[in-house]
Structure formats: C-alpha cells, structure tokens
DNA sequence: CTGTTAGCGCGTTCAG
DNA sequence: CTGAACGCGCTAACAG
C-alpha cells in the first residue's frame, strides 16, 4: 500500500475507455441532450465502472463558481460553546442550502483581529460564491469591504446605517414584547440584562425595552454582560443585590437567563414570585426551568429561509438590485417565569 | 451596478505592473526567500495596490490540496437542533483547524439516504483533503468506501470491527462510571434510557452500564429512545410508570435527561430523592437543574485535538501507517441529581 | 536568483 | 452531432 492520493481517474481516462473525445465526456456529465444515446451510454458505463467523479476544483475554476457558500459567525472565543441557538441556526442553514445544491464553509470570527482576513480567505480568494454574516457590532467594517468588492452577501442582523441586504428579527419590537409581558404581569422594577455594548441585537432589544418602560412611566435600568451562562451569573449577582434590586429582568438570551436563574437560586429568590424573567431564543432551556422560562421565539426557520433565498438570488444575479432589509416577526412564548404575581397588591388589578 | 464578479485581477496583471514574470509573483506570494528584496517589494506593492489575492481554486487545482477538511455529522433530521454538544464540538474543531491553517466544510447527514453521496461530493470530487466523521451506526458503509479509496479520515466514535483511525471516549467505561455512581448512592432499580438501537455511543454505554449492574448483582432494564428532549420525555413517561418503575436512570445525554426531568415533574417525582439521574456530555444544562445534574464529561477538547492532529498527519502522509484507536478518558462530574438518598433504609450503609 | 514552459482537470468555443 | 484546441489562474520543473 503506497499511493497517497486515490482515484486519479480523469475525464480523459474515461474518454479513452469509451473511445470518445474528452469533450464528449464533459457533455455527458453535464447532461447535454444532443449526444448520441449510444455514446452517452458508453461514457456513463465507463464512468460508473471506474467510479469517476468530476473534480470540483477544476470545475469551479472553469465555470467560475464554487458551489459553496460561507457562514461567518462572529462571537468571542468559546462564545459558540453550548449555545443551542447556533446549533439551530447552522442546522437550518445546512438543510436549506442542501436543497439549493450548495455546501457550507463555516468560519468563526472571534474579535476584530481576523475579521478582515476571513473576508479575504473566503471571498476574495473565491473559495465561496457568497457569504452569510451572523451578528454584527454597531459599526462593522466588513460590510464596507464586501460592498466595495460587490460581493454577494447577506447579513443576519441589523445593518444599522449600512445599505446592504439583511434579514433580521425586529429586535426593537422583540425587546418591547418582552418588557410589556412583565409590565402586564405587574412587576414594578423591571431591569434589563443586556449583552456587551455595541452588539446590535442587544442594542435593539434595549431600545424596545426602554420604549416599553417609558410608555408605562417606569424607570429603566440596564446591566451589560458578556455572553454565556457564567458571565451572566456574575453580573446578576450584582444586579440582584440590595434593597432596590429589580423584581423582574429582561435577559438577552436563554443561556444568560440561566445564569440569572443560578444567582436567583443562590440568593433564595423564587421565580416568578420574587423575580420575573423573560428572555429570547426559545431554546430547549426554556422547558427546563421548574415552571418554564418565558422567551421570545425568533423564528429561525423563516430567518434562514429568507437569508438563503436572498443570497442565492444575488449569486444568480437575479432579484431587485436595491438592498432591502427583511424583517421576520417574533413571537412571545409565555411560560411560568413571567406568570402574574400572586401578591396581595396585585388583587387590585 | 454592472459587473457581477469583482476583482478580476490575476497574477499576470500584477506581474506586468511590477515588471516581472508571473512566476516571480507566484514565488513572492508563496514567501519564497530567494527573491531579490527589491523585486519582492515591487510585487507586494502592486499586489496591495490592486488588492490582489491568489485564487484558492486555481491553487488547490495545481498543488492538489484544497486546504479544507470536511466534517460530516450523522444525525436524524433536526437532530442537531438545540444540542449544545455539537456547538461545542464544532467550535472546538474550528479553533483547532484554524491553528492548522485549514478551513472547515460542514455536512449534515440525516439517514442512510445520502451518506454515500456526501462521501462523493466531498472527497471523490476533491473538495476537501480529509474528513472527520462524527458518530456512526454499528455497521457504517462509509468506512469501507473511505478505506477502499485510501482517503484520509478519522472517525470520532467507535469503529467497531473496522480497522480505521478513530478517536473516541471509552464509552464502555463511561457507562460503567455512570451506573456505579448510582449504585454507590444506594439506588436499587437502576435502568438506562439509551438512544436508538445501533448507535455505537449508545451501545457502548449500555454495555458499561450492564457490566456495572451485573457486578453489583442488580438486574438491567433498558429503554430506547430517539434523540432529543421530547422523544425522551415520552419514553420516560412509559418507563417511570407503574410500581416497579426504576428509582434511578442512566440517560444517554443531557438533553434527553431534561426530557426525563420533565416527566418526573409531571409525575411528581423528586430528584434525586425519588429518582436518581446521571447523564453524559456535561453541557450547560447540567447547571440548570435545581441541585445540578450529574453528568459524565467527554473532554471534547482532547477528543478534537487528537482527531485533528491525526487527520492532519494522515494528510501530510506522516505518522504510523497502521490505523489506531485512540481513547480519551471521561470524567464524572458529580452533582445533586445523584446525591445519596436520605431515606431511612439508607442509614444502614 | 529569474524567466520560460508545461501542465493541473475541466468547460467551451469553433471547425468539420 | 463530435473532436481538436484553447484557457481558467496558478505552481513547479527546467533552463539560463
């Protein structure tokens, strides 16, 4: 046993074996209808016999498209870890892409360090035909680069001032939805546990939260935390201490909400009686809490469907040429963590 | 508006602009040290000016390696959804691969339907240099194909009778570890909630569980369930009904354990008093249960490190030529769900 | 040390 | 309808 590379069989080999020219093989493989049926059969048989398969690299070099699309997820190192939201997203994208006949090249970006180099490695080097970007900071330098180079891409997230194709939840509405649920349930000191400053999802939900509280004549109180269960737990420790601590929290995602749950437990706070909770993403985590965690469902399937369709249209050069921002509606899943308070004073309502 | 494809600038253009030959540009881009510094500078400048970047497809066609490795995950449709284990795995692989200078092509396989076609699309078409396979059924036809074609690959999972490179936890030991924890805690009717029949992780852990129970002179009882929280919940409903229901359960993974927790709640069973619980993967879910969920940690980082190193060695043609099975040790994370029973009879111990 | 030449495997004219 | 010839963009072998 020796040879490193297997199957060095090429189109030319098949051609010889079938007694035709290489271009005929090419035509047969491409399904060209104007090939004599007899020749076609000879070729197909030879191809099958030697289990020939076209070289994807040569193909994409020639026909100038790789049949791959890139997925770039921006998260701090280890930030993907354990977040079911991304499993969902990736799974959904894969299924959708499979139907479109493309494969996926996954890329993780941690900080600002390599965001540009990723853009280069993936796009300018023509490794992929287009890119889906997930999440963004408020001012994302990649967008300008991609735009300048006229590269097919779609952002899953809020493009802010950039005029690009994007698909997003209406996170302002979502933030308001979450806050209103708590207001309606009778909580009085409703704070928000947000993500790191500058993350658009976070900022948008903060905005929605703020508007809802303003409208109800209640004061806003906002804490920022890094992603992840542990970071949130620590910030919650601070937030939930003291006599003026909030009696309800809008939390940026389910994972962080679990951090809050841990702290609440430590401090002997019962949910929802001592602390109301609403979060986002509606992952499996929501079912795990004793009486369930109220969460805003993002409708990932629709999000992905829109994003992939939009990207594919760009790649094919179809569709309206003007970038558009597509909004996918959210939906509140009401569960026990935001149930109406059984306090005496609530009887007045 | 106008041109579809951006940046049609090639090595030849740069060569002309710098007044050198194309191969010199190639050398400079490759970092060849024996190029006159002055020329190098001219080339680099021209390249920067026109933001030139080598075409990855042409490169890999010529130097017969794509710089990409494939990750093929076999799970039923939607089975990736919400499983934090895979987020972890993927994240870890990406980081590791990044260090090795490769990118990742992700592929999901649902049933037997397309497992062969994936093999073709990825490997035979030379889209990737090698493949990491995750999970396998007891007799996996892909392994033979890959082996026959001498394709660089490593299996994360148990290869059973196949003689291939693989990295795996010692799931037999892990299963025993879990069962022994429950035995030690004083439970008497310890059953196992396993995955679908034929999945090697599941079978191995069943084996370990059985051995541990045999050794303790206790009878085995095994239920099979599909993956996911909901499927497990349903099976648990059946398993936990009746007077002879188990008082402790070894569950195949954290997500399924959560299904069990839901059922336990419905039926008014308290954990760990009425029902002991040990599962696998040690994801964030374990911290969410009131007193914590005891779980066997798989040491994903080590798993991935071994797998990637092994694959890279194969691709480079290095390393021992004989396939080896690498085992990564597991570790029990003891938490509240398997805490010793506070029953009267337990005082005897 | 540099330029010239020859392919990598395939798609696509362009004659016949 | 088919085959011969060319080139995608790049690397590698060989001269000079």
Q: What is the pLDDT of residues B29-63, one digit of tens each?
A: 999 998 999 999 999 999 999 989 999 999 999 99
Mean predicted confidence (pLDDT) in B229-250: 94
The Cα of B179 is separated from the nearest Cα of chain A by a number of Å equal to 24
For chain A, give percent helix, strand, coil, nearest 5. 45, 15, 40
Global pTM? 0.89
| CB proximity A321 to B under 8 Å | yes
For residue A114, the chain B residue with the least C-alpha distance is B98
Q: Over chain A, what is the mean pLDDT?
A: 88
Please count the CA atoms within 13 angstroms of the CA of B321 that sit on its side-chain side.
Answer: 6
What is the three-class DSSP state of B55? coil
For residue B85, the chain A residue with the least C-alpha distance is A82
Supply the pLDDT for residue A349: 36
| CB proximity B219 to A under 8 Å | no
Confidence of residue B207 (pLDDT cuts 50, 70, 90): very high
The stretches of B157-299 forming alpha helices (DSSP H) are 171-184, 200-215, 229-239, 254-266
For residue A260, the chain B residue with the least C-alpha distance is B288
Q: For A348, which DSSP code?
A: G
Q: Over chain B, what is the mean pLDDT?
A: 88
> Cβ of A238: how many Cβ atoms within 10 Å?
12
Residue B5 has pLDDT above 80, yes or no: no
Q: Which residue is nearest to nucleotide C5 (CA to C1')?
A: B23
pLDDT digits (tens, 9 = 90+) for A97-108: 988 889 999 988
Confidence of residue A59 (pLDDT cuts 50, 70, 90): very high
Confidence of residue B299 (pLDDT cuts 50, 70, 90): very high
C15 C1' to A61 CA distance, Å: 26
**Sequence-distant (≥ 6) Cβ neighbours of residue B263 within 8 angstroms:** B233, B236, B237, B240
Beta strand pairing status for A248-251 and A294-297?
unpaired
Q: Which nucleotide is nearest to A125 (CA to C1')?
A: D9
Chain D bases closer than 7 angstroms to a protein Cβ: 1-5, 7-13
**Sequence-distant (≥ 6) Cβ neighbours of residue A31 within 8 angstroms:** none
Q: How far apart are CA B224 and CA B196, in angstroms?
A: 6
Mean predicted confidence (pLDDT) in B114-118: 67
Confidence of residue B237 (pLDDT cuts 50, 70, 90): very high
- Strand ranges (E), A216-334: 222-224, 248-251, 276-280, 294-297, 325-328, 331-333
Q: How far apart are CA A36 and CA B121, in angstroms?
A: 28
What is the three-class DSSP state of A242? coil
Mark yes or no for CB contact A103/B121 under 8 Å. Answer: yes
* Percentage above 70 pLDDT, chain A: 90
Which residues from the 72-111 window of protein chain B have CB within 7 angstroms of nucleic acid chain C? Answer: none
Q: How far apart are CA B58 and CA A29, in angstroms?
A: 21
**Domains with residue ranges and CATH for chain A:** 11-62 (1.10.260.40), 68-162+306-319 (3.40.50.2300), 171-298+333-347 (3.40.50.2300)
What is the three-class DSSP state of A131? strand
B294 or A142: whose pLDDT is higher? Answer: B294
pLDDT digits (tens, 9 = 90+) for A195-233: 999 888 999 999 999 999 999 999 999 999 998 888 999
Residue A98, burial from CB neighbour count under 10 angstroms (0-12, 13-18, 19+): middle
pLDDT digits (tens, 9 = 90+) for A151-204: 899 999 998 888 899 999 999 999 999 999 999 999 999 999 999 998 889 999
């Amino acid at each position: 046993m020796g040879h490193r590379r297997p199957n060095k069989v090429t189109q030319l080999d098949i051609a010889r074996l079938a007694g035709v020219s290489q271009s005929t093989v090419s035509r047969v493989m491409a399904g060209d209808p104007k090939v004599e049926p007899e020749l076609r059969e000879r070729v197909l048989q030879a191809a099958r016999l030697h289990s020939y398969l076209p070289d994807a690299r040569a193909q994409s070099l020639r026909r100038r498209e790789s049949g791959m699309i890139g997925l770039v997820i921006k998260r701090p190192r280890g930030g993907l870890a354990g977040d079911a939201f991304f499993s969902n997203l990736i799974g959904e994208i894969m299924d959708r892409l499979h139907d479109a006949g493309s494969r996926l090249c996954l890329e993780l970006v941690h900080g600002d360090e390599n965001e540009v180099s990723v853009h280069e490695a993936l796009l300018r080097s023509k490794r992929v035909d287009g890119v889906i970007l997930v999440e963004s900071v408020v001012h994302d330098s990649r967008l300008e680069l991609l735009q300048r180079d006229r590269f097919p891409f779609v952002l899953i997230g809020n493009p802010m001032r950039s005029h690009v194709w994007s698909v997003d939840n209406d996170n302002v509405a979502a933030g308001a939805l979450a806050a209103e649920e708590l207001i309606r349930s009778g909580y009085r000191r409703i704070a928000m546990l947000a993500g790191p400053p500058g993350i658009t999802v976070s900022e948008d939900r903060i905005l929605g939260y703020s508007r809802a509280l303003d409208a109800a004549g209640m004061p806003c109180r906002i804490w920022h935390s890094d992603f992840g269960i542990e970071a949130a737990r620590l910030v919650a420790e601070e937030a939930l201490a003291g006599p003026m601590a909030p009696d309800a929290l809008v939390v940026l995602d389910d994972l962080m909400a679990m951090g809050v749950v841990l702290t609440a437990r430590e401090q002997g706070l019962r949910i929802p009686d001592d602390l109301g909770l609403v979060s986002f993403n509606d992952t499996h985590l929501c079912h795990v809490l004793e009486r369930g965690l109220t969460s805003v469902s993002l409708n990932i399937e629709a999000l992905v469907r829109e994003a992939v369709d939009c990207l594919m249209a760009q790649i094919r050069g179809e569709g309206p040429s003007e970038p558009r921002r597509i909004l996918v509606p959210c939906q509140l899943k009401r569960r026990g963590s935001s149930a109406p308070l059984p306090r005496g004073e609530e009887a007045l309502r």
